[in-house]
Chains A and B, each alone.
Chain A
């Protein structure tokens, strides 16, 4: 449209300059050109729980041909930080208590069944427990509260993963950049939608019948 290439370069120049100015304002001491990544300091989980969080989040989001696993994307750090944040923001520790309590149950159940903590149980043993709680509608009445725990933990893992830099690239989210000309829906996208409107589509969220106007 009216954003010429020249304008675009200026636009792109603005944000990094603003970002740099802000960064300098926030830190009193000069920062090196490539600052070393600071090690995360845990606020919620102890060493034992941390191991369980790593194992459980990687069971939920493992590495595949598109991207790495939850731990590779920093999900355990995200969850620890998020629980601490909610404790402070909500003025109660209901969420963190439910997560920590759920992790404790995983160990309790795993020790009952296999005489091992969940994090060090065999893969088949871990999935045997998860299969009871990973589908809320299928969970027995006795397991329902652990299914609720797992749903919460899964949501934390999923949103932690897909909002990370790795997850953003995996989806992929292609925005957050200057676009010279806005063209609306990509024709490739609309072609797929039109085909579905014409012939119907069986999706994860249900069946879409052919559309009539």
Chain B
């Protein structure tokens, strides 16, 4: 093919993707001495120069309101991406309504994410053994615990030692003190016997590795210009680049993993988005970390005579069992928070307190109508005003206008609270992605078609969330002022995992316990695609720990000349 430009250099490892999974792989492997070529579909991103930290909503178009192009608002760090990426469509199977968020930029979704960093617990690795649903992981909590320790120390996570069931504590920095609404909600939660503890976020409250501590401007989603929160570019890639062992190619949209006659991966073929030409790059090892569904897409598109169903897909399981997190929320208004002395409520970007799942014993005893749990994320306080500020005031005041209204609105500012449930989805046969037979993207790459369905376990769990939040609001002397849909859409919570599940049987899983493809020994995956379940614990910390463990194994196998 005359169009194909072969890269003259050869590398030890190609890493596809630069987010949490690609970042940790490049970080560990380059520090171990491997020559790494990282392929990122999007463009460069420098938080020090491009973060919108400290900008005012009133200086942004439409008071920084979210748009289709920027769903989390004008200043959100996802510069190119969202649930729709121009020129990169995806399609839906009959009756499905899946949303696929992609961030086309160095660092991917780590630039804007919520920094919530919760360890999976012992039950979460063996869910099938516990309640007969879904799948067990091929590893235990004890296998991953040392990597959780290392991951927390590298990225910097604050939290507190609590000793709660299936909610492992970690190597935490001190947690920031709670805001007023969080202290009130804790009081109510204590009464209702719901644990409410300091949250666990990847934001520094003390300096680490030359990174500064947080300055408490509350806008982590805009990316931090001083790297006080975790994001792959400043934490994983900067030290990796300093080794001289990492080359990052941006605008490199991966098409397929190339394969040799021996069935091993030889490298990757990608489209250079600037020239629209195909480029191939070779290496001894290929690590896919393109994000769960994009990784499955690359594998399914990597068809050859040896792999007619896509690389490492002899089981037909690539793309199956995709999971998102169950989401439902309720808004409330707490009069006790009205008309308080003005104070700066900003703090870190996100909640200072949260509620881990607390009904394990009731579930084990068969007293709950659904399997698996959720945690609760809190919102509220005197946030930076933007589009929608103090809207819906008639729900509290009945209506009005004039000086009296203006006076009352001032008193109402900061009295709204928000509860969001984030729960576990059990993998099911109706939720998967596959290659659409007809549609391609602007790079000529066949796109994904999604199929997604919640089961009763998730639907009843989401109902329990909303009922609980209403109970808390009422118990705090407040009023329920609004609620989300009864359950989120698939992909809406942006926690897709599971498309290339790991396991200990090559007949029923795509990857072994090292996230190594059973069918292709020099192909590894370090994003969330290997997850065998999707505990309510947000995936990024587990991606980091599991990716670290996989990368240690790769480095060791390279050293032993097994790869």
Q: List residues of chain A with CB under 8 Å of any chain B CB.
A: 1-3, 7-8, 11, 14-15, 18-19, 21-22, 59-62, 64, 66, 78, 81-82, 85, 89, 130, 134-138, 147, 150-151, 154-155, 158-160, 162-165, 167-168, 170-180, 182-186, 188-190, 192-193, 196-197, 201, 203-209, 211, 213
Least Cβ–Cβ distance between B233 and chain A, in angstroms: 15
In B272-321, which residues have CB < 8 Å from any A CB? none
Minimum CB distance partner of A191 in chain B: B341
B residues in contact with A211, CB < 8 Å: 187
- CB within 8 Å for A207 and B387 given contacts A59-B401, A164-B58: no
A197, B335: Cα distance in complex, Å: 11
Q: Which of A81, A154, A179, A203 contacts B216 (CB 8 A)?
A: A179
Q: Which residues of A contact B341 (CB under 8 A)?
A: 186, 188-189, 192
Contact partner of B336 (CB less than 8 A), chosen from A150, A184, A197, is A197
Instruction: From known contacts A1-B213, A158-B391, A165-B58, infer whether A176 and B346 are also in contact, taking CB-CB under 8 Å.
Output: yes
Which of B100-108, B174-182, B485-493 sits within the interface?
B174-182
B62, A81: Cβ atoms closer than 8 Å: yes
Whether A159 and B389, one on each chain, are in contact in the complex, defined by CB atoms closer than 8 angstroms, is yes
| Chain A residue nearest to B184 in the complex (CB) | A193
Q: Does B460 contact A (CB under 8 A)?
A: no
Q: List 18 A-B contacts (CB under 8 A).
A: A7-B212, A11-B215, A60-B405, A136-B394, A138-B399, A163-B63, A165-B56, A172-B342, A173-B384, A174-B382, A176-B54, A176-B217, A177-B344, A184-B352, A185-B178, A192-B341, A203-B338, A206-B478
* B57: interface (CB < 8 Å): yes
Interface residue stretch chosen among B359-367, B408-416, B544-552: B408-416
The smallest C-beta distance from A77 to any residue of chain B, in angstroms, reads 12
Contact A174 to B55, CB < 8 A, known contacts A8-B215, A11-B212, A182-B216? no
Smallest CB separation, B201 vs chain A (Å): 13
Do the beta carbons of B399 and A151 come within 8 Å of each other? yes
Chain B residues whose CB sits within 8 angstroms of the CB of A204 once the complex forms? 335, 338, 396-397, 408, 411-412
List residues of chain A with CB within 8 A of the CB of B346.
175-176, 179
B385 with A167: CB separation less than 8 A: yes
Within 8 A of A (CB), among B313-369: 333-348, 352
Asked if B385 contacts A162 (CB within 8 A), the reply is yes
Can you add 9 more A-B contacts, CB < 8 Å, to A136-B399, A163-B386? Answer: A1-B205, A3-B213, A8-B215, A176-B219, A183-B177, A188-B343, A197-B187, A201-B338, A205-B333
Give every chain B residue within 8 A of A135 (Cβ-Cβ).
394, 398-400
A181 to chain B, nearest CB (A): 9
Given A85-B65, A205-B479, A213-B191, A163 and B58 contact (CB-CB distance below 8 Å): yes
Complex Cα spacing A165 to B346, Å:
18
Contact status A89-B67, CB under 8 Å: yes
* Stretch touching chain A among B33-41, B45-53, B86-94, B528-536: B45-53
Alpha-carbon gap, A170 to B342, bound state (A):
11
Q: Which of B58, B179, B389 contacts A184 (CB 8 A)?
A: B179
Q: A82 to B478, alpha carbons, bound, how many Å?
A: 31
Chain A nearest CB: distance from B295 CB in Å? 32
- Establish whether residues A2 and B177, one from each chain, have CB atoms under 8 Å apart when the complex forms: no
Contacts of B335 in A (CB 8 A): 201, 203-208
Query: Which residues of chain B are within 8 angstroms of A167 by Cβ–Cβ distance?
Result: 385, 389
Kindly report which residue of chain A lies nearest to residue B337, judged by CB atoms: A193
Q: Is the CB of B401 within 8 A of A178?
A: no
Bound CA–CA A211/B352 (angstroms): 23
Whether A3 contacts B215 in the complex (CB less than 8 A), given A14-B48, A168-B385, comes out as yes
Known: A172-B342, A190-B183, A205-B478. A15 touches B225 (CB 8 A): yes
Residue with the greatest number of chain A CB neighbours at <10 A, chosen from B191, B343, B408: B343
Are B57's CB and A175's CB within 8 A? no
CB nearest neighbor in A for B346: A175
* Distance, CA A135 to CA B48, complexed state (A): 49
- CB atoms of A179 and B344 under 8 A apart: yes
B463 within 8 A of A: no
Q: Find out whether the CB atom of B343 lies under 8 angstroms from the CB atom of A186.
A: yes
- Residue picked from A61, A62, A173, A207, most chain B C-beta under 10 Å: A173
Contact of B8 with A by CB under 8 A: no
CA distance A213 to B190 in the complex (A): 8
| Residues A205 and B409 in contact in the complex (CB < 8 Å), given A11-B212, A175-B218 | no
Chain B nearest CB from A190 CB (Å) reads: 7
In the complex, which residues of chain B have a beta carbon less than 8 angstroms from the beta carbon of A138? Answer: 398-399
Contact yes or no, A182 B347, CB < 8 A:
yes
Beyond A62-B406, A135-B399, A159-B389, whether A176 also contacts B384 by CB under 8 A is: yes
- B132 on the A face (CB < 8 A): no
Shortest Cβ distance from residue A161 to the other chain B in the assembled complex, whole angstroms: 8
A206 x B477 contact (CB < 8 A): yes
Report B-chain residues with C-beta under 8 Å of the C-beta of A60: 401-402, 405
Tell me if B207 is interfacial: C-beta within 8 Å of chain A: yes
- Contact indicator A177/B217 (Cβ below 8 Å): yes
Q: How far is the CA of A113 from the CA of B440 in the complex (A)?
A: 62
Q: Which of A21, A177, A184, A209 has the most CB of B within 10 A?
A: A184
Residue contact B62 to A208, C-beta cutoff 8 Å: no
Q: Which of B207, B345, B477 contacts A175 (CB 8 A)?
A: B345
Which residues of B have CB within 8 Å of A136?
394, 398-399
- List, in ascending order, chain B residues with CB within 8 A of A159's CB: 63, 385, 387-391
Output the least CB separation between B361 and chain A (Å): 24
Contact of B343 among A147, A189, A206 (CB under 8 A): A189
For the complex, is B194 an interface residue (Cβ under 8 Å from A)? no
Would B406 and A64 count as touching, CB distance under 8 A?
A: yes
